[in-house]
Amino acid sequence: MGTRVPRRHRWLAIGGLSLAAFLIYAYVHGEKWREEVGITVGGRSQAADPAERRSAVNDVLSRHRIDFLHGVFQDGSFAPLLGDPDPVIRKDAATQLAVLAPECLESVVDAADGLDPERRKLALTAFVDAVLPPGAGEPPPWLGRALVIAGAHRQLRIFEILAARGADQLAPVIQLLGDPSPVIRSDAARALGVAGSNARDAADALAARLDDPEAEVRRAAIEALGHIPASTESLAGRLALRLDDADPGVVEAAARQLGRLGPSGNEVLASAIERLPNDRVAALLPALGTLDASRATLVPPLAARLDSADPVAAQRIARALAEVAEPAIPALGVALASTRAATRYWALESLRMMGEAGAPAVALVARGLTDPDVAVRIAALGALRSSGAAAEERDGIERAALDPDAGVQMRARKVLDSLKAS
């Protein structure tokens, strides 16, 4: 005999099947309705008669559920109405969509991007005005989180509109710098960086994030501060503290921003180069880019660090000085007088990397031909050859060809052969 199913279980099974059938019907019916309404709205949103376009908003969409309205908007058929030349239509369409805020924020921006620039601005202004009526006071709390989640491109579109209405509109985003989630804090910092000069009031709040326990937040705050106008001396002082950060990414970000601050930033960097370990100094160099004449204050402390025991760090420093070219020669001359052979060697290597720009230093380089260290003598021959002015020191090179060391002899002969060929 089979097991008898209790009556209440049968009723529960029947009820579950009925609910599943209803949900399937609702979904299929909803998708069909959405498609039909989307086609209807899409056609009427392009009608020449403004009254017909208005009815696409009021006579169709206002009668239906919000989820259907959202779906019709997402398929793009509603976008032209939001950017309609008729201000009444724009306002009506924006009012409908404001009901969906903040969920529709990303869809609004994406759809508006499909319009020409003038209509895009009309569309976004209409939407922002519907969600945040001018003069209504502080924006709603959800705005900050919605903007942070929306991503840089969409943030910029909305910020373009909010900026025209005053910096106080960014208050919800600034508040998120104190969010418990480090992801939200870092995203909020990036969003304020996108806002640029309009986020001037956020400078102090961003500066406070430079001490955030999460490295990603500290990096985001540094990068954002670089886009917000502020006193360069004040910002340089704040960034200086981050050059000692335990996270290499934070140090690099701070060095990059300091390099953009001009004299005040260079002063901080010069001080850091004097006190930081050689490996940390070498790590700063990629963030600084090419050291041109405007960063001459960095040259003496860099040249003094050619004594690094780490050959990789020393090579990076030598290359950075070579990029400065002739303005770096006096500092390299000081390094050539060092009592440490390694310092003299890397100074000559830097001059070799300069190529013909190092020609004015030929007399300094020639002193290395009689250096007690073999590696230094070989480096001097390399620097003379690359300078293109080796002929001025032919006598010294010929004596080097008789050097007790075979390596020095070989390098000297190659330099002499190149002089003959030229």
Residue tagged 């008729």 (tokens): 86
Q: Which of residues 34 and 287 earns the better pLDDT score? A: 287
- Residues 266 and 332 both lie in one domain: no
* pLDDT for 130 beyond 70: yes
What is the average pLDDT across 221-230?
85
Across 71-215, the runs of DSSP E, i.e. the strands, are none
User: What pLDDT, in 10s, does the model give residues 178-206?
Assistant: 888 888 888 888 888 877 877 888 888 89
User: What pLDDT, in 10s, does the model give residues 352-366?
Assistant: 999 999 899 999 999
Of the listed ranges 63-67, 127-131, 267-271, 346-350, the one predicted with least confidence: 63-67
pLDDT at 163: 57
Domain containing residue 343: CATH number = 1.25.10.10
* pLDDT for 67 beyond 50: no
- Residues 335 and 353 both lie in one domain: yes
Q: What is the pTM of this model?
A: 0.61
Q: Is residue 326 part of a domain?
A: yes
What is the average pLDDT across 214-236?
85
Nearest to 173 by CA among 197, 157, 190, 153: 190
pLDDT at 28: 41
Q: Compute the distance between CA of residue 345 and CA of residue 152 in angstroms, rounded to an integer.
A: 48
Q: Is residue 402 part of a domain?
A: yes
pLDDT at 276: 84
* pLDDT for 2 beyond 70: no
* pLDDT for 161 beyond 50: yes
Indicate the burial class of 137 (C-beta count within 10 angstroms; 0-12, 13-18, 19 or more): exposed
Q: Residues 111, 79: contact at Cβ < 8 Å?
A: yes
Q: Is residue 323 part of a domain?
A: yes
pLDDT at 196: 80
- Residues 316 and 390 both lie in one domain: yes
Instruction: Show the domain range for 338.
Output: 297-422
Q: Is residue 191 part of a domain?
A: no
Task: Say which amino acid occupies 193.
Answer: G
pLDDT at 117: 78
**Domain count of the chain?**
2
> Considering the chain, what is the average pLDDT of its residues?
77
